[in-house]
Structure 1
Amino acid sequence: MRKFLGLLLAVSCVLIARGGVMEIEVPQEVTEGPVDASSQNSAEISQPKDSVSNSTLKLVHVFFRHGPRTPVSTYPNDPYLNETYEPFGWGALTNGAKVELYKIGKQLRQRYKDFLPAYYQPDAIRAQSSESPRTLMSMQMVLAGLFPPENTPMEWNQLLNWQPIPIVMEPEETDVHIRMKAPCPRYDETVMEVIDLPEVKKLHAENSDLLRELTTHTGVNITHAHDVTNVFITLLCEQTFGLQLPSWTKDYFPEKMLPLAEKSYVYDAYTTEQRKMKGGFFVELLLKQMQDRISGALKPVNRKMFLSCGHDWTITNVLSALNVWEAQMPRFSALIAFELHQNPQTGEYFLELYFQNDPHKEPQQLQIPGCEKQCPIGKLLELTKDIIPDAPYAELCKAKGTQGGAKISYH
């Protein structure tokens, strides 16, 4: 009998190459704690009823968020201000997350079993993660579920149903496709410009009592939706870890805080300019991958899948760039699947777009405004032309001096 999954991570290694260019239910996930037994009790992740047909699918790019983690930030009045979150540490993937992501890998294997090779082949897949331990570990877990080597030519150890698969990473300071936190002064300005828009000011004014009360309870100045999101995610991670939240949160978390927290992701990519600077670079890459597959220029020629692991704002920025993001909280392990299909009768290529915001539910097909659910590539190119970058990142990111700018982000 094979060793269980914990052994997999204990002995696993990963080949990393730097450079080169994949409705929240609150509270969510399995409860974690200082002694984490959640890996034994994690709910089963739903499996697709049928795999995707090999007859029309030509290429797929799966982009997912890392799994549940410990907090990365706190607030002055947090009773767990000095918590160390051992043995994981701050901002780290939990054991329950590892189980969840491993099952997502199995879910992808089931969905694409008739499209992907039966076992790992280097040319068939390219895996890329942001430069973050939790995304790298998340990618390792998904790959472990997607390509188990047992009873394949890649099997190398009968006691360990795991194999090393290379993962590409790009430094954060130059990663405009996945991490999306490369310095961008102009984007920082636009965040403040959006906050100053009449409809956003109106939302904050309508919630002024809530913002003031949260400021009192947390000890941090809560003035806009992004501030609410920061505290919301910290509370969610603490609760998921098994910590008892302070009594004041019962009147605010999650229900009262959720609408503002959801809105903040909308404001991250509210304007066409913002969408161009953030999700636009990934969409540009995605379109090139699909066009190269269509023209025969994609290398290696037998590439089947691109697999990318990023963060909450990368998921929302990409879907906002495609004009399909609605105000909601992106879950840990949220997943987007971009499927390039070819009509066997007409030869026409089209995109099918799927979003899974809950790993316990089936992916839902999204429809890009102005297009059919099976969106012809030519039409997709037309619909995305305004958010495709028309200048290098450094040029787009030059400050205009319209606002002081502020690096408002969450984790």
Structure 2
Amino acid sequence: MLCNTLTMPSTFTAARRSIYFLLSCLVFLNVCFPLLGQSAGEKNLKLAIVVFRHGDRSPVQSYPNDKYKEDSWPDGFGQLTQLGINQQFELGKYLRKRYTGFLNETYTAQEVFVRSTDVDRTLMSVQANLAGLFPPTGRQLWNPSIPWQPIPVHTIPYANDYMLHITTKTCPRFDQLVNETVNSEIFNELKKPYLDFLKTLQNGTGYTFDQLVGQKGPYIWWILYDTLFCEKTHSFSLPDWATDTVMEKLHRLQLISLDAFFGVYKHHEKSKLMGGVLVKAVIENITQALTPPSKRKLIMYSAHDTTIGALHAALNVSNGMLAPYASCHFFEVYEIGNKSYTIEMYFRNDSNVDPHPITINGCSHSCPLEKFIELTSPIVVQDWRKECGFKADTSSDKVHALTIAVIILSIILFCLLVMLCFCRKRLKASYETV
């Protein structure tokens, strides 16, 4: 009994302390959880930049022994197909769903900027995309029978587009680097396991062995697989030699050719000359969009698999895979709190799953914008023409100098004319006086 009397107050005190502790936790949770919710709610999307590949297309060319030539395709080589139109329309609808509440329901010129390479399939792709993203409603419904509205798409000549058009033809130094890569020891080691396989392709393809393993070999591998892939996609009968095993090996060779283009050898310098140009544009776009009074919310780039490949190589997030038709890279800039910004990246390469988060090395997925700019600064080229090996363009200086010379000469002639008129008046006055 004595023991029970002594332990009761102790038990009561412990229970009271437990109750006080629970009440304190409830107060803490009631105070902190709304604050946490408020903090999360302060993450506001400010800008989205999307870079996507065109939709399904016909082959860009055929191989020598291919029985299907350009006239086998309704619109010729390299053209967007009906399947490609549907793929882009679906991507546009996905963008509408993803950015519901962020973008206006109707197209607004101040919010959206669209640019495409000057190629039929990319221009048509972005128009199909926009049809899914901005179907006309209200005053924009100009014809009830046509659920489409014209939206401006900007472009520049293909030969002058070194931001979205990735090719060796626009940059001599990049061309030199690719040639050095193809002749490098490391690339030869990658190619070596496939030499016997390449020999077996001569009769079927019409290419010589020297062509298949030579300087243009990587491009030929790409053409072979791409052409056969397009034909298979559109239910063309493939030649007997194009077995599943052959297609698998050609696909591996195509991936090696992609590596030769953007990596393997002097990856950093290649990144500056190609994908780094687009990264620089993205950073400039972000800076402009976050500067009042800009109302820009969405920037769209319609381009190619090589564009996305160069971008991923420059960001060093490449997974060694090709960008499929209508695949899309997302840059999303969020405002956190008061004038603090983060950037998130995603890659959508399958319409059946959510886009994959992409994280740049040295940062978290939701990367502070200042940190992102710092990490990407090594690949941002300041003078692209100089880095590419172009000689200084003095033509503009000559025009400028000529303009100044003409202006100076005009002023001198004008002064002489004024002096002549003044002298004639003086002479005439002197004559009348006499």
Query: Aligning the two structures, in what range does the TM-score lie when normalised by the shorter sequence?
Result: 0.7 to 0.9
Assess if the C-alpha contact under 8 Å between 2:42 and 2:335 holds in 1.
Answer: no
1:280 correspondence with 2:259: no
Measure, in 2, the Cα distance between the counterparts of 1:141 and 1:387: 33
- CA offsets 1:154-209 (integer angstroms, 9 cap, x no match): 11111111100000011111111112346211111100111233321111112211
Measure, in 1, the Cα distance between the counterparts of 2:190 and 2:374: 33
The residue aligned with 2:226 is 233
1:395 correspondence with 2:386: yes
Number of residue pairs matched by the alignment = 341
> Where does 1:3-402 land on structure 2 (aligned, <5 Å)?
55-80=43-68, 82-150=69-137, 152-181=138-167, 183-220=170-207, 221-223=211-213, 224-270=217-263, 271-296=267-292, 301-344=294-337, 347-391=339-383, 393-398=384-389
Matched residue type, 2:52: F
**Partner secondary structure for residue 276 of structure 2:** helix
**Partner secondary structure for residue 318 of structure 2:** coil
Matched residue type, 2:221: V
The alpha-carbon deviation at position 269 of structure 1 amounts to 1.6
Measure, in 2, the Cα distance between the counterparts of 1:83 and 1:387: 40
**Partner secondary structure for residue 60 of structure 1:** strand
Structure 1 residues 222, 101: CA separation in 2 closer, same or farther (over 3 Å shift)?
A: same
Measure, in 1, the Cα distance between the counterparts of 2:97 and 2:360: 26
The alpha-carbon deviation at position 394 of structure 1 amounts to 2.4
TM-score, normalization: structure 1?
A: 0.79
Matched residue type, 1:128: R
The residue aligned with 1:46 is none
Measure, in 2, the Cα distance between the counterparts of 1:203 and 1:239: 27
Kindly report the root-mean-square deviation, in angstroms, between the aligned alpha carbons of the 2 structures.
1.9
Structure 1 residues 306, 336: CA separation in 2 closer, same or farther (over 3 Å shift)?
A: same
The alpha-carbon deviation at position 390 of structure 1 amounts to 2.7
Matched residue type, 1:65: R
TM-score, normalization: structure 2?
A: 0.75
- CA offsets 1:356-382 (integer angstroms, 9 cap, x no match): 112333211111111110111111112
The alpha-carbon deviation at position 294 of structure 1 amounts to 3.3
Measure, in 1, the Cα distance between the counterparts of 2:247 and 2:353: 21
Structure 1 residues 399, 83: CA separation in 2 closer, same or farther (over 3 Å shift)?
A: same
Larger Rg: 2
The residue aligned with 1:47 is none
Assess if the C-alpha contact under 8 Å between 1:334 and 1:356 holds in 2.
Answer: yes
The alpha-carbon deviation at position 102 of structure 1 amounts to 0.7
Measure, in 2, the Cα distance between the counterparts of 1:122 and 1:187: 36
Measure, in 1, the Cα distance between the counterparts of 2:97 and 2:199: 49
Structure 1 residues 399, 210: CA separation in 2 closer, same or farther (over 3 Å shift)?
A: farther
Matched residue type, 1:357: N
**Partner secondary structure for residue 134 of structure 1:** helix
The alpha-carbon deviation at position 148 of structure 1 amounts to 0.3
Measure, in 2, the Cα distance between the counterparts of 1:191 and 1:216: 28
Measure, in 2, the Cα distance between the counterparts of 1:276 and 1:251: 37
Matched residue type, 1:64: F
Measure, in 2, the Cα distance between the counterparts of 1:87 and 1:216: 28
Using CA pairs below 8 Å that are at least 6 residues apart, which structure has the higher relative contact order?
A: 1
Measure, in 2, the Cα distance between the counterparts of 1:85 and 1:101: 24
Matched residue type, 1:127: V
The alpha-carbon deviation at position 55 of structure 1 amounts to 4.7
Q: Which has the higher helix share?
A: 2
The residue aligned with 2:31 is none
Assess if the C-alpha contact under 8 Å between 2:166 and 2:310 holds in 1.
Answer: no
**Partner secondary structure for residue 386 of structure 1:** helix
Matched residue type, 1:161: P
The residue aligned with 1:32 is none
Identify unmatched segments of 5+ residues in structure 1: 1-52, 401-411
Measure, in 2, the Cα distance between the counterparts of 1:143 and 1:153: 17
**Partner secondary structure for residue 352 of structure 1:** strand
Matched residue type, 1:362: D
Identify unmatched segments of 5+ residues in structure 2: 1-40, 392-434
Structure 1 residues 149, 313: CA separation in 2 closer, same or farther (over 3 Å shift)?
A: same
The alpha-carbon deviation at position 399 of structure 1 amounts to 7.5
Measure, in 2, the Cα distance between the counterparts of 1:383 and 1:124: 28
Fraction of identical pairs, as percent: 34
Measure, in 2, the Cα distance between the counterparts of 1:225 and 1:287: 33
